[in-house]
Structure 1
Amino acid sequence: MQTAAPGIDEGREPTVLDVLTLEEIDRDLYRSTLVFADPFPLYGGQVPAQALHAAGRTVGPDRLPHSLHGYFLRSGDAARPTVFRVDRDRDGGSFSARRVVALQGGEVIFSMSASFHVAGPGPDLQVQEAPGAEPPDESADLEMPRLFSMESRRPPQPFPSGHWPTRFWARATVPLPEDPLVHACVLAYLSDIGTGLSALPEDEASPGPSLDHAVWFHRHARLDDWVLMDMTPRTVAAGRGWYTGSIFTPAGALAASFVQETLFRPGRNPFRPERG
């Protein structure tokens, strides 16, 4: 992957923080600064991460994202900047609602609704326990394609025949700032890299491009520490596949939940690189 971006020293590889760097063009209008050559369409996790960062810059620092819902409308091009337009739908006493459209060439490639909340007192209950995965230092290395400055480990799999792991550890390899918004955006960046549908027989049909993606942020998690992603296939019908996922901290706290629907058509998926 050959890269180039304004403000990046020659010879330095970009990081996930460069992915999140946005230029403010005007009020509520932002543009990404990292561009690079990529033989595949723009990685799906990059756009919601940047859109969430743009939306988060329009709310107070005490309001953190608790959910996002996005639709992938057109393939993006990593070699050109993406423009993000934020609409301030509402600012209430403790909630702020934002809508974001991501544009390239004057066309919308992604649209997203996001909600931000001032956290308040209340019970902290967790019904779903973290799966009994081997810790990262006892798990095999896993090459993570398409992500900048992220590393991963592969514990034993719940679906051993899957052509891509549905459970793995991941973390950023660069120190991240204390800002919880940045960690939420890196979590969104990571959340699209796998697919629970890889557990299904590949000779029957193959997961294709993402259609829509939603994330709920339950508890703060540092993304420069390990998090465990765990995905489960749920159903395939009418040419679409749907799976759910959870992200846990090393202590077993449920940090986030996500769901995604993708095209699921016969034949090899041309929109994703080969998985190792």
Structure 2
Amino acid sequence: MNDALQSLLDLLALEQIEQDIFRGRSRASVVPRVFGGQVAAQALVAAGRTAPADRPPHSLHAYFLRPGDPGAPIVYTVDRIRDGRSFTTRRVVAVQHGQPVFHLSASFQADEEGLDHQEPMPPATDPLELPTAAEVLPRHAAEGYLDPAVAERLLEARAAIDLRYVDEPPYVTVGEVREPRSQVWFRTQGKLDEAGAAIPRPLLDICLVTYVSDMTLLDSVLLAHGRGGWAVGDVVGASLDHAMWFHRPLRADEWLLYDQESPTAHGGRGLGKGRIFTADGQLAVSVIQEGVIRVPRESSRQDPGA
């Protein structure tokens, strides 16, 4: 386990300051606000710490209300909505500077038998045949696709997660309209068994996947319009809402394929849909997110069709 992964685990290990009230801190982000995946993962940790240990999360629905301040702590207040025979429901509000910045509802379920089917896993290049971020980001900076400072910030932000693009990311093919579909493989940079983590599994695995799920989901929106994203400054955006369904067991320290697509974009918003598969083809998670995606005025003048 590298230092970055240990730092991420420490970030998720919230401080309990009162019954059902937790406090978290933030890490540096590639944009001047708290990374949405971080606040979602921390909120799910807070909810999970008030749920029965034998009931992992099976779904979450969340809204990003205000940009988070990375320099201030975040207070998570949990409401115990319901504890049923099979399901547990929690609501979490994240507050900074006296204002809510994030709202999450999560449901937890005890394991049980039932009907079983799934979509097949799509084809994808083996992750071990793909370059790592440490290999590809400096090269992209040297080739002029990224400002070196931006490449360095991306590398730092992903130091805890081994994330590998199956095809080129949006900032490499600016101006080229592509199919609105993207794939990445990811896993933690090291085995979680070595951590002695404060958060029990499988809750820890699910919260780590929640953290990663916000990193690349809207890439497919950009691909459909030949845009490179915030990394090259041709769009500005932020997550609006986020929903996840956890179907089958997974391990965040083993390879997971994140298959992503965008069915639509309109009105300054873009929709991303994702499916996360285990390496042996099990559909483990479904994800849907809508985000604000706006074209800066300068780019609008250059591209009247935007």
1:101 aligned to which of 59, 74, 93: 93
Distance (Å, rounded) in 2 between the aligned partners of 1:99 and 1:60 = 15
2:22 aligned to which of 2, 18, 30: 30
Say which SS state the counterpart of residue 203 (structure 2) adopts.
Answer: helix
By how many angstroms is 1:39 displaced?
Answer: 5.1
Equivalent position of 2:277 in the other structure = 248
Distance (Å, rounded) in 1 between the aligned partners of 2:111 and 2:227 = 46
Equivalent position of 1:77 in the other structure = 69
Are positions 1:232 and 2:248 aligned together? Answer: no
Q: Within 5 Å, which residues of 2 pair with 1:1-276?
A: 13=4, 14-36=6-28, 40-126=32-118, 128-142=119-133, 145=155, 146-156=157-167, 161=176, 166-177=182-193, 179-194=201-216, 195=218, 196-202=220-226, 206=235, 208-267=237-296
By how many angstroms is 1:206 displaced?
Answer: 3.2
Amino acid at match of 1:265: R
Distance (Å, rounded) in 1 between the aligned partners of 2:116 and 2:253 = 24
Distance (Å, rounded) in 1 between the aligned partners of 2:29 and 2:238 = 19
Say which SS state the counterpart of residue 132 (structure 2) adopts.
Answer: strand
By how many angstroms is 1:208 displaced?
Answer: 1.0
Q: Mind listing any 5+ residue stretches in structure 1 that lack a counterpart?
A: 1-11, 269-276
Structure 1 or 2: larger strand share?
A: 1
Amino acid at match of 1:122: G
4+ long deviations beyond 6 Å? 157-160, 162-165
Residue 167 of structure 2 contacts residue 182 of structure 2 at CA under 8 Å; is this kept in 1? no
Structure 1 or 2: larger helix share?
A: 2
Q: Scaled by the length of structure 1, what TM-score is found?
A: 0.85
Give the paired residue count. 257
Residue 23 of structure 1 contacts residue 33 of structure 1 at CA under 8 Å; is this kept in 2? no
TM-aligned CA distance change 1:250 to 1:157, over 3 Å: farther
Q: Mind listing any 5+ residue stretches in structure 2 that lack a counterpart?
A: 138-153, 194-199, 229-233, 298-306
% identity of equivalent residues: 41
Equivalent position of 1:273 in the other structure = none
| Bigger shift: residues 41-50 or 141-150 | 141-150
Say which SS state the counterpart of residue 140 (structure 1) adopts.
Answer: coil
| Bigger shift: residues 128-137 or 171-180 | 171-180
| Bigger shift: residues 13-22 or 191-200 | 13-22
**Between Structure 1 and Structure 2, whose CA radius of gyration is higher?**
2
Distance (Å, rounded) in 1 between the aligned partners of 2:224 and 2:296 = 13
Amino acid at match of 1:166: S
Equivalent position of 2:196 in the other structure = none
Query: Cα deviation per residue 1:21-80 (whole Å; 9 max; x = unaligned)?
Result: 100000000001455476521111000100001000001111110000000010012222
Query: Cα deviation per residue 1:181-218 (whole Å; 9 max; x = unaligned)?
Result: 00000010000001221222145973611100111101
Query: Cα deviation per residue 1:54-107 (whole Å; 9 max; x = unaligned)?
Result: 000001111110000000010012222111000000000000110001111111
Amino acid at match of 2:192: L
Residue 181 of structure 2 contacts residue 261 of structure 2 at CA under 8 Å; is this kept in 1? no
Distance (Å, rounded) in 1 between the aligned partners of 2:238 and 2:249 = 29
